[in-house]
Amino acid sequence: MLAAFGAPIRRDGDRVSVTAAALRGHEVRVCGDISSAAFLLAAAAGMPGSELTIEHVGLNPTRTAFLDVPRALGAEVDVRQTGEDTGEPVGAVTVRGRRLRGVRIGGSLIPRVIDELPVLCVIATAAEGETVISDAAELRVKESDRIAVIARGLRALGGEVEERPDGLTVYSSRLHGGRVASAGDHRIAMAFAVAGLLAGGPVTVEGAESIAVSFPEFTRVLRDVVAQKGVHRKS
């Protein structure tokens, strides 16, 4: 981005140098955030027959590891780069819901999907078998203890979950409606909103106002996506 504004930048191996210079104006079109899009894409992945395309989303390879998980679970994921904005690759992501199967998530993948793990736990309830998440102790010290909060919330909705110090095991479960606490954590609140689409009854998320921290329009966008039948809510 600095280069687009005229800053002289020199790269030498793992070293980057920037020389002081006057910057010039530049038009920037801000692309969609893949971490925010993840909640909508995960919703589509969790429901067979659903299809959702999100356009003009950022595709920086350091941010797109999340897409590998729905793909491994069995969803169909297509990524199409359409260009670059201020040096960042952008494009369209399409997810088609298919029958899912449990997977193991751990090791070097965890730091690259740490923010998306709550919603991945939610859709893992729709997968056959078990999904094991390990090496994710960092979740304990996010905006909430996300391991404990997601486990407690899924159990409140009928999910079968085993909590461990560094992660969870999520078993195939038929979710029902209920009331869950988000602990004031925006990503937990959005994850349980997605659970409301998978559940057999209404889900009330306490503390959902926290969503405004990162995605103020989330509720409206999710409602619009469902209304357009990109995501088919279970009834």
**Contact yes or no for 197/234 (Cβ under 8 A):** yes
Active site residue 115: yes
Q: Please choose, from the candidates 130, 112, 23, 121, the residue with its C-alpha nearest in 3D space to the C-alpha of residue 66.
A: 112
Question: What string of H, E and C letters represents the secondary structure of the chain?
Answer: CCCCCCCCEEEECCEEEECCCCCCCCCCCCCECHHHHHHHHHHHHCCCCCEEEEEEEECCCCCCHHHHHHHHHCCEEEEEEEEEECCEEEEEEEEECCCCECCEECHHHHHHHHHHHHHHHHHHCCCECEEEECCCHHHHHCCCCHHHHHHHHHHHCCCEEEEECCEEEEECCCCCCEEEECCCCHHHHHHHHHHHHHCCCCEEEECHHHHHHCCCCHHHHHHHHHHCCCCCCCC
Single out the catalytic residue among 14, 115, 135, 166.
115
Find out whether 121 and 170 touch, Cβ atoms under 8 Å. yes
> Does residue 93 contact residue 53 with C-beta atoms inside 8 Å?
yes
Which positions are catalytic? 115
